Amino acid sequence: MRTTATAGEMAGVGSASVLARLRAGIPALLAANLSIATLAILSAPLAAGLVPGPVRMLGAALLVLVLPGAAWLGLLRRRALDPARLALAVVGLSSVASVLGLVVLAAAGPTPSRAVLVIWIAAVVNAGILVAGPPARLEAGRRWGLLGAIALAGFLGAACAGLWLVPPLEDHDMEVRGTAWGLATTLEPYFQTNRTVWRAFAHPILFHVHVAESLVATGEIEATRPSYESARRSQAEEARGVTSDHMDEWQADYKEFIAHPALAGTRAPSALFAGLVLALLATLVIDLTGSAWAGVAAAALYAAFPQTIVRSAVRRWLITSKASQVFELRNLFSWAFRAAE
């Protein structure tokens, strides 16, 4: 009796497995590509006069920081995901796609192409669905609908503050968006600073990456070009021995920034993290008290602080530090309760 399969039989089994996975993934592929197309339309420059600003920001944030990572959650099927692990996995995997996406944008240059970015995101999402398979299970017993609503409310609140309440800030918006053109065209963070530095990462590096891709998604990347070109000119002058503090160039860039701040693309990543932090804070309070209303109240109270409103609109690295503090508090309280039992 023959007990081993021939190479042809094994190839046939492999092909059948691939086809079966493809057929099983067709509904997910259709839904994912429809979502990408919808978000691309909502965040498009042509939609600026028709779609509310916060909705455009939501479209850009989901394209850059959510959909790519969500498509690869099938890699994490070993255990069910709680809210903290889900947020970390989605943003972490999306960040990997964002870094690679900048390489694609720079290679496709010379002008950062919104179409190239959307095609790249679609490729990442489709590959994730086909390769990683069905997403990991979400932890049972969680109020996922409520947490999603809190995250959405937090995002919209931060987006509204970012567009209409907090003015353009030189020490944040101008600096983090200033490197976008260089990153998306040459992978070098050229930016005209007032410190005689031509390649500047003023804040966490991934923040600059997220903002650069968000600006491409909203079609506002062109507003950052003057800072890049100004920095290159100043660097060339220094190389020729011209001595100057280049403050005239910086002042010209600052005036251009105030005239065209590109707040939707610049602040969309911060708004997304603001929503995630509120949802994670609510999760912590619900875990500690067993009350969904307590979680909602805690999130609402934190969101109402003036400091939270301002920082949620612009300072994403501070929001991320707050998220890490939420994780630490959760672990601390969980350990204390276990020790008391």
Q: How many Cβ atoms from other residues are within 10 Å of residue 211's Cβ?
A: 28
Q: How far apart are alpha carbons 285 and 303 in whole angstroms?
A: 14
Q: How far apart are alpha carbons 125 and 143 in whole angstroms?
A: 26
pLDDT score of 179 more than 50: yes
- Please indicate whether residue 125 or residue 2 has the higher confidence score (pLDDT): 125
Whether 209 and 98 have beta carbons less than 8 Å apart is answered as yes
Quote the mean pLDDT of the chain: 86
Of 21-35, 269-283, 326-340, least confident by mean pLDDT is 326-340
| Residue whose structure tokens are 């010209």 | 252
Report pLDDT digits (tens) over 185-211: 999 999 888 777 777 776 778 889 999
- Please indicate whether residue 337 or residue 109 has the higher confidence score (pLDDT): 109
- For residues 206-231, give the mean pLDDT: 94
pLDDT score of 221 more than 80: yes
| Residue whose structure tokens are 């619900």 | 286
- For residues 82-101, give the mean pLDDT: 95
Alpha helix positions (H), the chain: 7-42, 53-65, 67-70, 83-108, 114-132, 144-164, 175-178, 180-185, 205-218, 225-239, 247-259, 263-289, 292-304, 306-314, 316-340
- Whole-model pTM: value is 0.86
